[in-house]
Each structure stands twice: as structure tokens, then as C-alpha cells.
Amino acid sequence: MIKKTRQHISQNESLLFEISSPGKMGYQLPELDVPMMDPAEALGGNTRAEIEDFPEVSEVELIRHFTRLSTWNYAIDLGLYPLGSCTMKYNPRINEVVARTEGLAWAHPYQPESLSQGAMEIMAELERCLAVITGMDAVTLQPAAGAHGEMTGTLLIRALLTSRGNPRKKILVPDSAHGTNPATAAMTGYEVENIKSNEQGMLDVEALARAMNEDVAALMVTNPNTVGVFEQYIHKIAAIMHDKGALVYMDGANMNALVGIARPGDFGIDVMHLNLHKTFSTPHGGGGPGAGAVAIKKELEPFLPGPRLRRENNQWHWDYDRPRSIGRVRSFYGNFGVLVRALAYIMAHGGEGLKNATMDAVLNANYIRKLIEPYYKIAYQAPSMHECVFSDDYQSKKGVRTGDIAKRLIDYGFHPYTVSFPLIVHGALMIEPTETEPKQELDLFADAMISIAREIEENPAIVLNAPHLTRTPRVDEVTAARKPILRWKKPAESQVRAKPGDLRPDVPAREPALPASVR
């Protein structure tokens, strides 16, 4: 039996347009008891009595409609989000309480410095904490997200090398790096050269040494990398780069595996970004906001985006006199609300708490790995850090691929893992449970994955036709991407009206064939 999911109390929901009836409205206002100019006269006749085809519904219909729709959303508050390389951890509510403190929530960047001392103190303290955590010398909070942090970091590298007389021509990017890395290098004017991984899923040190020459400005390395493996030879890698005058940039998106355990500045990193909306538990997804703080070694400090915080006469000030700065990379000083949440998270945990969170994240990933490794092929035998990556090699022999497994996982009440990424693993299943998941939830997830593996062996059609328990059947993803339907159109009178329970008039009702264990 499927242990987690159940039929939804409201399996389908009509559109507001479909439940609309002429004359209905969701509000009542008393008659005016004061003289008022006719709106049509006040607006010069630029008014209309109604909006054509606009839905007309009662208050109770409106409230129930949106309440029912809200229960369809899968969220971190409902269950595990196993998206790998995204660190979709639960966000403690205390972070939200702090960020909504009136003096912080309503702070405006145009306020004078004398009225912004508290906000500036928060930013200064967060910079200090992040520098200690990473083992770096200075931090900027301006970048709006991870890729923006990457761009800032590579611009800093270019500025430093230019000051030495040669910005150089290219940046080396391992195939195990995040996909934004080569795009960032290209955006900042560099050629990109790819470096292959070895059989352990790590950067091939010998290949790196062969690629190194005086044209190389930097290496952009993700550590742990996108297959969840720690680059064990990172000291040697950094030495190879530094010996030729190049720098090492680290993508810090996977810092959830290092905080409190290892500091990138101690193993040779010159510049890195941190995804505060991943590692330091601020709301994640939906397009933002995020924060991509950049930490650097002292030789890069003169080039940091301005303005910089400066303490003088027991007051915080903004220092705009920075002639070597690369300039602003963000309007004002960064996404302040995200910064507040990040500092709240760090202060609530303390050093030992942050270390424990990291250890729990690594433990959870390895627990999942050991439970399902007999059923799915692990991509690399090297130890997993905070995430584990499998391939669909076993299942593809039955014609089932990673996307099919992900869709079937929805039937079990879980958000799918990351599908087909990283690209260096064919048919990848990338799973990151984070530290906030309890053993019960991890066991349910593992049970679901094992059950799906057994279904594939016994009757692969069940998985190939999944999902079965969702309100919308399996969609044609290619057509949906190329010919999306983005707005509702009033059906012609000749069209057949929707049957009760149907999502749309053109979507027929279906009775999926399910095994007895699922019904």
C-alpha cells in the first residue's frame, strides 16, 4: 500500500469563468449618504459598466475556489522537497518574525544614515559571520542571487588581473560545475574551457595541469560538486592555479555540506559566492528574492562593489570613495529582507548548531543512499556529501527513464527529485534531503522509491503512464512547451460543456488502470 498519499478532498476545481453567473457579486456596500459626482462625468466618460466575460461569483464561491486551489500546492511545509543541488530546507518561522520587525520591514534605502544604523549593523554583522564561516577576508552582500554572485566574482577576478597588467583570456570550468558557471565566464568576457571529471566524479587533476597556462585567469569549481562529491584534491588544484598566477573561484551553492566543518578560504579559494536562500534558510523558489553574497581574499577587497560599510565615530556610514571598485552590481545594498533572515538563522544556531545542521544534512543524504542503492545505480562510488546522485541504468532496461520515475513519485505524495541533472550522469536522479527532514519522512521517501523500482520490474506500464492520482493526466511536455495555452477562452456554444469533475471542457474524464495496491 502507498503509505503517504491519499485522494484529495477536492480532486478537481472549475475555473471562475465556468462557475460564473450574471449578476453575482462578492461584496455589498451601503448606499451613499453624501452627494457624489457621477463617475462617468468625473472621468470624462471614460468608464464602462462591466468587463466583458469577467467572472461574476459570490463571496463564498470566491473564497472556496482560492482556498481549494491553495491546497493543491506542494510546499516544504507539507513534506520533503528532494531537489538536488537546491537545498530546499524548511525555513524556521523565527526568521520570518525577525524580518517582519517594523523597523526592518519598513526600512527604506533612501533613509538617512542616522536612521539606518540598525539595518547597517545587521548587514555588517552578517558580513562578519559569513567571512568567519568561509574563512575569507571580506564579503559583499549586494548580489541578488547565485548566478549574480558568480558574475560579481568573475568581474573581481578580471579587475585584479587587469591591475596586474593582464586580465588573461579564459576560465576553466569542470564538467561537474553548475551550469551557470560557463555562462557567467562568457558574460564577463572570458573564453571557457571544459575540464573532464575522473571515474570518482572529481576534477581530473592531471587534465587540469595540462590545461593550465598563462592565458588562464581562473578555475570555477563547485565543491562539493554537482554529483555530491567533495573535491578531495582541492589543495593541489588551488596550488596548480596559484603557481601560474591564476585564481580559484568556488561556487558555494553546496555549502550546506561544509558549514562548520570546512572553510573554503583554508583550502585555497580566492573568491566564492554563497546562496543565502539555500544554505542559510531564507524562502527559496518562485523567482526570488535570493541573495548571492560574495566572499573574497584581501587582495580582491579594493575592487568590491560600492558603497562599502565603514565604521567611524561609533556610527556606520556608506563609503563611496572607492576608485578601484567594479561599481554597483545591484541597486542599493542587496535584498535586505533575505539578509535579515540569513543572520537570524546563523544567530539562532550558533557555531555548534550550524555544524550539527551540516552533519545532519550529510547523514540524511547517506541514509537515503544506503536504503535505495540496492534498487538504483549510484553514479559514483565516492562518498556522498549532502546529496546523492543515481542513474536510471537499471530501470532503462525496462524502458523506464528518470522522468517516468519522477512522475510516479508524485502518486506517492512527494515532490520529484531533480531529473536528468547533472548532465554528466546519464538519466540522473539527484536527491538532496537536507538536514531538516526527520527519519520518518526519509523512510517514507525511500519506501516510495523502492516500491517504484519493484513496479518497474513487475509492470513497467504503471510507471510509464504515471501519474495516476493527480488532477491532470500526464501531459505532452513538448507540445506544452512549444504551444502553451496561457489564457482561458470562452468556449463556443457548439462545444460540449464540461462534465462535473472535469478540469477543462477539452480534457475528457479518465479512469486510470491502477494496481490493487494503489486503489
Is residue 508 situated within a structural domain?
A: no
Which residues, 6+ apart, have CB-to-CB distance to 37 below 8 Å?
A: none
Which residues, 6+ apart, have CB-to-CB distance to 266 below 8 Å?
A: 135
Q: Provide the grid cell at 265.
A: 578560504
Nearest to 251 by CA among 342, 145, 164: 145
Residues 230, 125 share a domain: yes
Give the range of the structural domain holding residue 263, as residue numbers without chain letter: 93-348
Question: pLDDT band for position 517 (50/70/90)?
Answer: very low
Is residue 113 situated within a structural domain?
A: yes
46-55, 58-67, 71-80, 443-452: which is most confident:
443-452
Q: Report the chain's terminal Cα–Cα distance, integer Å.
A: 9
CATH code of the domain in which 165 resides: 3.40.640.10
* Residue 391 bridge partners (DSSP): 377, 428
Mean pLDDT on 483-487: 88
Question: pLDDT band for position 498 (50/70/90)?
Answer: very low
Q: Dihedral (C-alpha) 504, 506, 512, 518: value to the nearest 10 degrees? A: -20
Question: pLDDT band for position 159 (50/70/90)?
Answer: very high
Is residue 256 situated within a structural domain?
A: yes
CA distance 466 to 468: 5
Opening angle at CA 90, ends 93 and 453, nearest 5: 155
Q: Dihedral (C-alpha) 292, 298, 300, 302: value to the nearest 10 degrees? A: 100
Residues 97, 53 share a domain: no
Residues 97, 63 share a domain: no
Average pLDDT, the chain: 90
Residues 301, 196 share a domain: yes
Q: Show which of 323, 348, 373 is a domain's final residue.
A: 348
Q: Please tell me the predicted confidence (pLDDT) of residue 511.
A: 39
